[in-house]
């Protein structure tokens, strides 16, 4: 979403100023800021805010406690991991790869003085062997990749809470309001 706004603003700058420097600046902005967001939309999911009803279902199914290390993969504006952090978990980390969305989440965390940690990064390249719970809101194709790449590496007892989309070859342990809970055996 933020990527489209930035692309639109860059196009307006180029059309309005008709300057080589403005064109160069706009191209650099597009390359540095917009392309990681497009990558995250294609290989993760676009940023779509999670409703309060779904957040409540995630919290209920996650049953988060004081010893849990929780990761939100593609945390968007951080609203879900922020609610998880309020459950006094050991660690609540959200990963975001879209630069504008990441900064938006960081600003919301700083203003709200939240306990969650928002990190910029590609979650596909992270180690989740210590994860007690992973939260994701992926598209169907991304859930297939998650099931193939990350699910096998999780420790027994690790929980995956997926908003909207299911894993194809793993049966959920529980469901609530379109949110699926999986527990690694």
Q: What are phi and psi of 90, to 5 degrees?
A: -60, -45
Q: What is the Cα–Cα distance from 2 to 100, expressed in whole angstroms?
A: 6
Helices 2-17 and 99-112, interaxial angle, to 10°? 120
**Which residue numbers in the chain have pLDDT < 70?**
1-8, 10-11, 13-14, 31-45
What confidence score (pLDDT) does residue 53 get? 97
Shortest CA distance to 158 belongs to which of 118, 127, 112? Answer: 127
Interval 164-184: pLDDT, tens: 999 999 999 999 999 999 999
The H or E element that residue 94 is part of is strand 91-96
pLDDT recorded at residue 181: 98
Please tell me the predicted confidence (pLDDT) of residue 20: 82
State residue 21's pLDDT score. Answer: 79
Nearest Cα to Cα of residue 103 among 22, 23, 47, 27: 47
Do you know the residue count of the chain? 185
pLDDT of residue 58: 98
In angstroms, the CA 3 to CA 99 distance is 9
Computed over every residue of the chain, the mean pLDDT equals 89
Domain boundaries 52-183, corresponding CATH code? 3.40.50.150
Tokens of 151: 């699910």
Domain ranges of the chain: 2-43, 52-183
What is the CB neighbour count within 10 angstroms for residue 17? 13
Q: Which two tokens stand for residue 14?
A: 């180029």
pTM for this prediction: 0.82
d(CA 102, CA 40): 11
CA distance 137 to 48: 9
* pLDDT confidence of residue 137: 94
* Structure confidence at residue 40 (pLDDT): 64
Cα–Cα distance measured from residue 146 to residue 144, given in angstroms and rounded to the nearest whole number: 5
Residues with Cβ within 8 Å of residue 36, at least 6 apart in sequence: 97, 98, 99
pLDDT at residue 41 in the model: 64
């Amino acid at each position: 979403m933020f990527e489209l706004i930035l692309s639109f603003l860059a196009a307006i700058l180029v059309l309005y100023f008709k300057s080589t420097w403005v064109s160069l600046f706009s191209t650099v902005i597009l390359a540095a800021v917009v392309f990681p967001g497009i990558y995250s939309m294609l290989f993760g999911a676009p940023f779509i805010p999670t409703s309060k009803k779904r957040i409540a279902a995630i919290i209920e199914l996650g049953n988060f406690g004081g010893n849990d290390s929780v990761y939100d993969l593609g945390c968007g504006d951080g609203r879900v991991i922020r609610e998880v952090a309020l459950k006094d978990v050991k660690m609540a980390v959200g990963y975001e790869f879209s630069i504008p969305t990441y900064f938006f989440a960081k600003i919301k965390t700083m203003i709200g003085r939240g306990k969650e940690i928002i990190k910029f990064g590609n979650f596909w390249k992270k180690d989740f062997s210590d994860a007690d719970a992973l939260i994701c809101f992926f598209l169907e194709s991304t859930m297939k990749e998650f099931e193939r790449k990350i699910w096998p590496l999780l420790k027994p007892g690790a929980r995956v809470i997926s908003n909207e989309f299911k894993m194809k070859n793993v049966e959920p342990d529980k469901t609530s309001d379109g949110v699926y809970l999986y527990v690694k055996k």
